[in-house]
Structure 1
């Protein structure tokens, strides 16, 4: 792939940024699986026994999440700019191929699209999105506790991951046209699943072998040890499995679903075993790959089971 330089046209430079920091294909797949599982669950809880639905609200919601994740990515790149200049000087932003000011405009455009789509979906969606957006602003400002939180790396990540339940609640409002205070307990429980799914990936991508640790870059292996962080990933996945099993039991899903979730856990266990007994940069990196696949497959499994159990309809309405 040709290296894009700072004198290239703005669209080319922004595409270079997206390829590096926000790959559209991977993010679209992640968002579609995340949105589908939460939307179908919301529908199953609000309209028991009725078929699942894909309609224009699905498209609006997915595009909203795509823009939301993009603006969070840009917020993070602003927040971490100086550290990234020191540790990742070859990135597109650090090479000045794109500038912080250009990314501000891109984020502003994404945010405008988010709220325009939420307005189409209705007042409940606007309110839910507004709450998630305000939380993203707090993330940008590191909750006005930046240095204090950074010294407590696990707490720092735990607080930031709360954005995932808030986005699940946004999906609820897009899918049902209902407000946050109308969310049933079982949907809140699955919002917890979303939290731990994201945490699973957050931990996995920051597991490093001792020789790859770099001064100034935080990692979970620094906190929990070379293997302790990998074991923590397994604990988080166990929590996910238990929580989603409770939701599945409430909905009366089949044994096939439980078997699939356990099988998914066992497949990802292979990555931890490889890392434990063949510790290397390669096996450490594979943990993040397993984590990404786990998130998508986990959500797809629930979506497919709900469709298999209740059927699906496609509608041209909101």
Structure 2
């Protein structure tokens, strides 16, 4: 394993240029929302550093688990990926994943040791996901249940990130459940959006929502998830006192997504599919930026 191989691997399978900014906003917004909902001051910089570090490490661990779980499918249907084509070995990737475990635990322990229990809960669900909950064939035959069971890890990760604030702060705020629900729905937005493909992009043996439902229905389901996400975002903003700022920006972002969904449904070509994928990520970025930082801006102006 060389540094060049690692660089190419991250670029293809865990692109830091795209992942790091999104997770920085995600982790910081989660901590800020927890404090806003409870009416507590923000924690020190150490809390935000711990949140970002553990978010990056957890999402990398999720990628490593996917590499192990999907190896046979990748060899059969996606031989151009880094491991099947021999760029890097599965053993090396698993080694990096194992090395990241104590780093994540250390980041949590240095901030607030009792939070390790929540990290253990996230790891438990990740292990169950990797094992397909002991019923891989049954679960894969039910793609909607597969999606929902796997996206359940998102509110668990957010429980950990918000816990950076609420666990040492005295407990979770009553409205925190709305923010955790937002994370669950946003996970669905991201997952469905990245698997809305053009017909010529479909790969034999690889599941996509465009193949499962057809492009038009997949677009409608993705648009519906965006609207549910918007509703939850506005509900959180109402509790944090930022509704008037979040409303126009959130609606503008959602309308942009709906226009892209309509164009993809009408003409599911690679360009429209790429637009949906891109906007799924941008919507998530906007959601957490507004949820976490709009209250601060509202007080400033």
Q: Take 1:68 and 1:198, find their aligned partners in 2: how far apart are those partners?
A: 15
Q: 5+ unaligned residues in a row in structure 1: which ranges?
A: 1-8, 312-318
Is the 8 Å Cα contact of residues 39 and 175 (structure 1) preserved in structure 2? yes
Q: Is 2:217 aligned against 1:225? A: no
User: 2:98 is matched with which residue: 108, 112, 130?
Assistant: 108
Q: Take 1:184 and 1:196, find their aligned partners in 2: how far apart are those partners?
A: 20
State the Cα distance separating 1:98 from its structure 2 match.
1.1
State the Cα distance separating 1:310 from its structure 2 match.
4.0
Partner of 1:315: none
State the Cα distance separating 1:10 from its structure 2 match.
2.6
User: 2:131 is matched with which residue: 118, 141, 146?
Assistant: 141
Please give the TM-score of this superposition, normalised by the length of structure 2.
0.94
Q: Is 2:279 aligned against 1:301? A: no
SS at match of 1:27: helix
State the Cα distance separating 1:186 from its structure 2 match.
1.1
Partner of 2:199: 210
Comparing both structures, which one devotes a greater share of its residues to helix?
2
User: 2:31 is matched with which residue: 21, 29, 39?
Assistant: 39
Please give the TM-score of this superposition, normalised by the length of structure 1.
0.89
Q: Take 2:71 and 2:148, find their aligned partners in 1: how far apart are those partners?
A: 22
Partner of 2:236: 247
State the Cα distance separating 1:15 from its structure 2 match.
2.1
Is the 8 Å Cα contact of residues 166 and 172 (structure 2) preserved in structure 1? no
Q: Is 2:167 aligned against 1:177? A: yes
State the Cα distance separating 1:174 from its structure 2 match.
1.4
Partner of 1:120: 110
Q: Take 1:53 and 1:266, find their aligned partners in 2: how far apart are those partners?
A: 35
Count of residues in correspondence between the two structures:
300
Structure with greater contact order relative to length (CA < 8 Å, sep ≥ 6):
1
Is the 8 Å Cα contact of residues 272 and 287 (structure 1) preserved in structure 2? yes
Q: Take 1:219 and 1:225, find their aligned partners in 2: how far apart are those partners?
A: 9
Is the 8 Å Cα contact of residues 121 and 177 (structure 1) preserved in structure 2? no
State the Cα distance separating 1:204 from its structure 2 match.
1.1
Q: Take 1:91 and 1:273, find their aligned partners in 2: how far apart are those partners?
A: 31
Q: Is 2:86 aligned against 1:99? A: no
Partner of 1:280: 269
Is the 8 Å Cα contact of residues 236 and 291 (structure 2) preserved in structure 1? no
Q: Take 1:92 and 1:254, find their aligned partners in 2: how far apart are those partners?
A: 45
Query: Structure 1, residues 255-288: CA drift from partner, whole Å, max 9, x if none?
Result: 1211111111011122112213333122112211
Is the 8 Å Cα contact of residues 200 and 236 (structure 1) preserved in structure 2? yes
Query: Structure 1, residues 16-71: CA drift from partner, whole Å, max 9, x if none?
Result: 211110011211111111112211111112235x4x45511111110111011101
Is the 8 Å Cα contact of residues 172 and 178 (structure 1) preserved in structure 2? no
SS at match of 2:85: coil
